[in-house]
Chains A and B, each alone.
Chain A
Amino acid sequence: MNNDEKHISSYQSLTVVLVILLFLTAISVLITGFHLGALTVAVALLIASVKVFIVLTQFMHLKFENRFLRLAVTGVFALFAVVTIITFIDYYFR
């Protein structure tokens, strides 16, 4: 409710967002070509996470949404992270 009116994203800013996303895609494709071993997975997932964050905030307008929705989305991703951690703890220490 703190938002006064609907935010309208400009065509230019959306284009810039796309260029950044394509750039990150190129980096992740190039980096995995180097075969950095276990680090490859970490780097690829890190870049994917950055891309997802950009899509959520820019394309999906979360940056301009009310606090409740932003909190809800953050909470869902945090919940998934917790589920992942618990699953892996179960797998490694069973």
Chain B
Amino acid sequence: MTDNHTHTEHLDSETGKLGMWIFLFTELFLFGGLFLVYAIFRAKYSADFHLAAEELNAFIGTINTVFLLVSSMTAAMALTAIQKGDKRLTIFLLLVTILLAALFMVNKYFEWSHKFEYGIWPGSPVLKNMSHGELLFFGLYYMMTGLHALHVLIGMILLSINVVKVKTGAVNSGRFLMLENSALYWHLVDLIWIFLFPLLYLIT
């Protein structure tokens, strides 16, 4: 069926993938800009940033790093599975990826609610009484992890759509650009976290 279309299909997927990469470039600069703001204010208010970063739970951060790294591998494996035509394994691996993403969000929920218990949320009275540097740290913390969490949610939705498409056969071993691009998106989520984690949680 695809025989006489093979050539155009190939070009299509190459172009589609290039488009995805160009989108990922804009994402890198979206977060890159925030990293820069963080770096400059960290240099300016290093003592305050040190104090504020101590508040963060490095353990939860580490667990979430593991979740994202493993999920990135299962997403990459899902692509291998669809290329090999193993539909069941593809769906299983996608579901594992989504589950790990959900666990990441659950962790994030507990992490944030723990902060809220201490009265630390954007614009809270406690935060307003803190020093300027601490205020900036928590502002950036909520902005960066929040924006990242939004990407995790979008990634979960994308991967779920893929599960359905693989099930119906719309995504198959001969046509898997959507799964490939969704996996690329998911790896970007992982990539950004790889930088966020040491910057926010480890370096105090």
Question: Residues of A at under 8 Å CB distance from B?
Answer: 6, 8-11, 14-15, 17-18, 21-22, 25, 28-29, 32, 40-41, 44-45, 47-48, 51-52, 55-56, 58-60, 69, 72-73, 76-77, 80, 83-84, 87-88, 91
Q: Which residues of chain A are near B66, meaning CB under 8 Å?
A: 22, 25
Chain B contact residues, CB within 8 Å of chain A: 17-18, 21, 25, 28-29, 32, 36, 39-40, 43-44, 58, 62, 65-66, 69-70, 72-73, 75-77, 79-80, 83-84, 183-184, 187, 190-191, 194-195, 197-199, 202-204
Contact B58 A51 (CB under 8 A): no
Q: Given A29-B58, A29-B202, A48-B198 in contact, is the A55-B72 Cβ separation under 8 Å? A: yes
How distant is the Cα of A10 from the Cα of B77 in the complex, in angstroms?
8
CB distance from A65 to the nearest CB of B (A): 8
Question: Can you report 23 residue pairs joining A to B where beta carbons are below 8 Å apart?
Answer: A8-B80, A11-B77, A11-B80, A18-B70, A21-B69, A25-B62, A25-B66, A28-B198, A29-B58, A32-B203, A40-B202, A44-B198, A44-B199, A44-B202, A44-B203, A47-B198, A48-B195, A48-B197, A60-B184, A69-B21, A72-B21, A80-B32, A88-B40
Shortest Cβ-Cβ A-B pairs, 3 listed: A44-B198, A32-B202, A18-B73
Most buried by A among B73, B79, B190, B191: B73
A87 CA / B17 CA spacing, docked (Å): 32
Residue of B nearest to A72 (CB): B21
Residues of chain B within 8 A (CB-CB) of A44 are 198-199, 202-203
- The smallest C-beta distance from B47 to any residue of chain A, in angstroms, reads 14
Residues of the B chain whose Cβ atoms lie less than 8 Å from the Cβ of A55: 72, 187, 190-191, 194
Most A C-beta atoms less than 10 A away, residue of B17, B29, B77: B77
| B187, B194, B195, B203, most chain A CB atoms within 10 A | B194
Q: Assess whether B69 is in contact with A69, with CB atoms less than 8 Å apart.
A: no
Give 10 new A-B contacts, CB below 8 A, not counting A52-B194, A69-B18: A14-B80, A17-B73, A22-B69, A28-B202, A29-B62, A48-B194, A48-B195, A59-B72, A59-B73, A80-B32
**Bound-complex Cα distance A10 to B79 (A):** 10
Question: In the assembly, what is the distance between CA of A49 and CA of B140, in Å?
Answer: 21
Chain B residues with CB under 8 Å of A80's CB are 28-29, 32
Asked if A10 and B80 make an inter-chain contact with CB atoms under 8 angstroms apart, the answer reads yes
B83, B187, B199, B202: which contacts A59 (Cβ < 8 A)?
B187
Q: Does the CB pair A59–B39 fall under 8 Å?
A: no
